[in-house]
Structure 1
Amino acid sequence: AMDFPAYFGHNWDAFEECVNDLSWAPADGYVLLYDQLWWLACDHARTWRTARAILEEASRRWEKEGVPFYTLVRGTHGCGDVAAALSDQYR
């Protein structure tokens, strides 16, 4: 689980701010593991698309600064469309 700072606003703007300004969690690089992806991607697809877009943009931003930032996902549990979409994107 991500342990966001106390000022975290529990909305998409706050999430975007926190993953793009990680001064609250200094490190040489970052790896996020999203476990049980099926729950979000299959049952709440619109929410997943928003989260994924924010994480992809953060990854590109950190890459430009030479800071590793990866999001790993697992646990599609038969949510084939999600697995196929991720597979197609990263070929």
Structure 2
Amino acid sequence: MTGAPMIDHAMDGTRVRTKPDFYEAVAEVMSFPDWFGHNLDALYDCLTDLSWLPPGKHVLVWFRPDVLADADPAGYRAVQGVLADAVADFTDPERGFSVVLIEP
């Protein structure tokens, strides 16, 4: 994917205190399709697909993940697991996917 554009999807995590908050925020910044099911399996499915987005290297930039980690530690670990799995399992030759966490 040499020369492919890098496309950042910046997510403000200051109001993400629950898994449903995360689903809403990530769906908005990644332009998830209407069929997104707002659960961990659907999150994985969307993050390993991204076919609705233009070709390029897509980067989810999550600002303030500590807010969810502090408010819902189990939810944060579950989301982190799905994000890690999605990055590891991503195979689209026209797109890339990575995650960057920005903490204060």
Q: TM-score, normalised by structure 1?
A: 0.70
Match of residue 31 from structure 1:
59
Q: Which structure is larger by alpha-carbon Rg, 1 or 2?
A: 1
Residues 65 and 21 of structure 1, relative CA distance in 2, 3 Å threshold: closer
Distance apart, 1:65 and its partner CA: 5.5
Q: What one-letter code is carried by the residue in structure 2 that aligns with 1:10?
A: H
Identity among equivalent positions (%) equals 31
Does 2:34 align with 1:6?
yes
Moved more, 64-73 or 33-42: 64-73
Over the aligned positions, Cα root-mean-square deviation in angstroms equals 1.8
Name the CA distance, whole Å, in 1 between partners of 2:100 and 2:30. 14
Deviations 1:45-71 (A, max 9, x none): 111111111111111112x55653211
Say how many residue pairs are matched: 75
Structure showing the higher strand proportion among its residues: 2
Name the CA distance, whole Å, in 2 between partners of 1:28 and 1:69. 9
**Contact map agreement 2:60 2:99 (CA 8 A) in 1:** yes
